[in-house]
Structure 1
Amino acid sequence: MSSQAYMDKVQLRQSYRNLWHTNLMSTIQADFPYCCLSLWCGPCVSYMLRKRALYNDMSRYVCCAGYLPCSGKCGESRCPEFCLATEVFLCFGNSVASTRFLLQDEFNIQTTQCDNCIIGFMFCLQQVACIFSIVAAIVGSEELSEASQILSCFSDLVYCTVCACMQTQHKIEMDKRDGKFGPPGVMAVPPVQQMSRIDQPIPAPVGYSPQSAYGQPYGYPPPAQGYPQAPYPAPGAYPPPGSYPPPGYYPK
């Protein structure tokens, strides 16, 4: 994918309306065993989730889901399983992010501000830890070196935790896709985050005041509220057409 096409895809992803079934903060509570599995066996879980995201059809596999320049140039068509195993072990972070982008583009899922803050904090912490390590290596201070190591360990812990929550989030989303929360065909009220669909028609802008049950704009009282009515004549009070004036009424 070219850089321009990638930027266009990023801008398009900002207009998605659907939300993840579970946000990053709630994944531990939603599926704690799978979150632990993702923490301790991250590459294996990433392999299984990518294969499941492709509906177990490895003929559709492309390295990093087609989001990097190397995609489609690593011999995926000849041995997709080996290429996927190499991707998840050597480029674990990219494999998790690629599966995430793949699901977002398929189901029009946006990333909430809370998720963006967590992911941004993870990246910023990694950058700060890297800068501290470089400064400690240049200065040669033991105290600064120990501080950089502590910061690096904390950064790695946050990275592994966020990746585990991401993969649990992906698994829960595919559980919803595969109908594990209920039969897909059952008509039921969708959850709040699913009420806004990308293909839902946008209502036309309203330029007139809403109409009440009496056929007039709100603000005018209905006739039953004690206001005097016009003295309309009763039906049949007027003579039928052609019956007046009677013959001989006017003098000749």
Structure 2
Amino acid sequence: MGDQMEKMKLRQNYANHWHTDLMRATESDPLYCCFSLWCPLCASYSLRKRALYNDMSRYTCCGGYMPCSGKCGERHCPEFCLCTEVCLCFANSVASTRFMLQDEFNLQTTKCDNCIIGFMFCLNQLACICSLIACLTGSEEINDAAQILRCLSDVVYCTVCSCMQTQHKVEMDKRDGKFGPRPMAVPPAQQMSRLDQGYPPAQAYPPMQQPHGYPPQPHGYPPPQQQHQGYPPPQQQPQGYPPPQQQPQGYPPPQQQPQGYPPPQQQQPHGYPPVNYPPPGAGNPRS
């Protein structure tokens, strides 16, 4: 019992909230609200099974929150035990499913929801007290007042239970990702995201190791081996220019002379000197 009281106190300090409160549960899923109003036992059975991820091997009577939990032969026939719990202890079945969801997702009940649930309990107790007084006194007036309070208490009880089960169903729809992404688990303190400390994610920065021969690049620039889009790689020349080993069209190769020039050994102009001119060692004809 002491452990259960500690859990009750811890639920008051949970950080998360229900996806919808009791006041707006009818707006969130009106069809299921009507179903849970007219078939509350079926709704409680299906919600408990869904809260257990459809794994009845995990079932414990009243979710383990009552003294009889684990002592009713749940392991041998969990489906039958759940039907018995829903039929004989309907209020406990709804409350147990609620406690299971609160402990799983750290959900706290708003003050408005607490007021509604407290009003339901107070009205139920007041109707019970008036019925006892009417039985003891035998007064018709007190008996009529007790009957009115009893009807009013039953209406409030059925309405609150219907809205509460709709609230549970919407929360499990959120858990199963039927609308929007699934909720993320809160990481431990030593694994908190860098965004919580005002820093960008670590994966946004390039790796610390740079290719050999390149200086470190500033953050936000691509690695050295990647060039800006639209520029060719270093080994490629711009389009329209020939490769380095090719000369522009119209120029002869280096080993060929322009057409009309004599070979390298015939550099003298035509007719000078004459072919029969004496060599440099011959004497002067005047001498």
Q: TM-score range by the shorter chain?
A: 0.7 to 0.9
Give the drift of 1:10.
1.1
Match of 2:84 in 1: 86
Match of 2:240 in 1: none
Higher relative contact order (CA 8 A, sep 6+): 1
**Contact (CA 8 Å) 1:27, 1:165: kept in 2 or not?**
yes
Task: Say which is worse superposed, 5-14 or 94-103, in terms of deviation.
Answer: 5-14
Match of 1:152 in 2: 150
1:102-131 residue CA offsets vs partner (Å, 9 max, x unmatched): 000000000110000000000000000000
Trace 1:14-163 onto structure 2 (pairs within 5 A). Answer: 14-163=12-161
Identity of aligned residues (%): 68
Give the drift of 1:11.
1.5
1:64-114 residue CA offsets vs partner (Å, 9 max, x unmatched): 000000000000000000000000010000000000000000000001100
Give the drift of 1:25.
0.2
Q: Which has the larger radius of gyration?
A: 2
Matched letter for residue 179 of structure 2: F
Structure 1 CA distance, aligned partners of 2:138 and 2:94?
A: 36
1:18-47 residue CA offsets vs partner (Å, 9 max, x unmatched): 000000000011111100110110011000
1:112-154 residue CA offsets vs partner (Å, 9 max, x unmatched): 1000000000000000000000011111111111110011010
Structure 2 CA distance, aligned partners of 1:184 and 1:82?
A: 32
Structure with higher helix content: 1
**Helix, strand or coil for the counterpart of 1:25?**
coil
Give the drift of 1:198.
8.9
Match of 2:266 in 1: none
Structure 2 CA distance, aligned partners of 1:97 and 1:138?
A: 33
Matched letter for residue 182 of structure 2: P
Structure 1 CA distance, aligned partners of 2:44 and 2:149?
A: 26
Instruction: State the 4+ residue runs in structure 1 displaced beyond 2 angstroms.
Output: 182-185, 197-201
Trace 1:165-204 onto structure 2 (pairs within 5 A). Answer: 165-184=163-182
Matched letter for residue 5 of structure 1: D
TM-score, length-normalised on structure 2? 0.64
Matched letter for residue 71 of structure 1: S
Give the drift of 1:199.
5.9
Gaps of at least 5 residues in structure 1 are 205-252
Structure 2 CA distance, aligned partners of 1:65 and 1:11?
A: 18
Matched letter for residue 101 of structure 1: F
Give the drift of 1:184.
3.2
Structure 1 CA distance, aligned partners of 2:135 and 2:170?
A: 43
Query: Size of the alignment, in residue pairs?
Result: 192
Structure 2 CA distance, aligned partners of 1:198 and 1:32?
A: 35
